[in-house]
Chain A
Amino acid sequence: EAQVTQNPRYLITVTGKKLTVTCSQNMNHEYMSWYRQDPGLGLRQIYYSMNVEVTDKGDVPEGYKVSRKEKRNFPLILESPSPNQTSLYFCASSWGLAGSTDTQYFGPGTRLTVL
């Protein structure tokens, strides 16, 4: 089954404690992206990757890091989480090469609370 998986689904942590949210896709997609969803703000892109070892900032990258060492995986790293990073996070993937008609496939989301 074609899917994007994220782990964990729920996480409560404390300020400053490094964490990683994993994302994996099994569709051989080139393009992967991280979003955060906040009430009244919709989805905002954090980082994206066009291929292995190619990543770039989205609209709200501050406080986040990513890496793309393998095509299927795109982890999101919060080196020193703060309460304003409490949010619902989504990973997404798409072919990326077919142009702007691409459909994005989303993971189920990770709800993060930073105390």
Chain B
Amino acid sequence: GNSVTQMEGPVTLSEEAFLTINCTYTATGYPSLFWYVQYPGEGLQLLLKATKADDKGSNKGFEATYRKETTSFHLEKGSVQVSDSAVYFCALSAHLGGGYQKVTFGIGTKLQVIP
């Protein structure tokens, strides 16, 4: 079956540091890839997505590139802020036929940014 692998963390960074959260996946076919963010006490919300190989998703200074050759979708940000402290989930979505969309999530990586 499909799977998504990411470190659980926590990842602790100082403000303005560079962020990388690694995400690798296993899937058949051509999944779409997503990063969702969960702020404390809230539900998940979409951060960015990419639907085909070599696509780059970007939002709020975050970027991730869909690398089919390495089956990866690493999340990066050049300069993190305290307000970026949250849990980040990598996910893939694949069609299994019959209109059914199967979404598989990673375990989530907690990011703590200290002033």
Q: Please classify how large the interface on chain B is, using the bins under 10, 10 to 19, 20 to 34, 35 or more.
A: 20 to 34
- Find out whether the CB atom of B51 lies under 8 angstroms from the CB atom of A101: yes
- Find out whether the CB atom of A100 lies under 8 angstroms from the CB atom of B94: yes
A12 within 8 A of B: no
Given contacts A100-B32, A106-B43, contact A42 B105 (CB under 8 A): yes
- Find out whether the CB atom of B46 lies under 8 angstroms from the CB atom of A103: yes
B99 within 8 A of A: yes
- Find out whether the CB atom of B44 lies under 8 angstroms from the CB atom of A106: yes
**Of the residues A33, A56, A103, contact of B49 by C-beta under 8 Å:** A103
Chain B residues with CB under 8 Å of A40's CB are: 8, 107
- Find out whether the CB atom of A31 lies under 8 angstroms from the CB atom of B42: no
Chain A residues with CB under 8 Å of B43's CB are: 4, 90, 106-109
B83 within 8 A of A: no
- Find out whether the CB atom of B95 lies under 8 angstroms from the CB atom of A100: yes
Identify which of residues 23-74 in chain B touch chain A, using a CB-to-CB cut-off of 8 Å.
31-32, 34, 36, 41-46, 49, 51
Interface residues of A (CB under 8 A from B): 4, 31, 33, 35, 37, 40-45, 48, 50, 56, 90, 92, 94, 96-97, 99-109
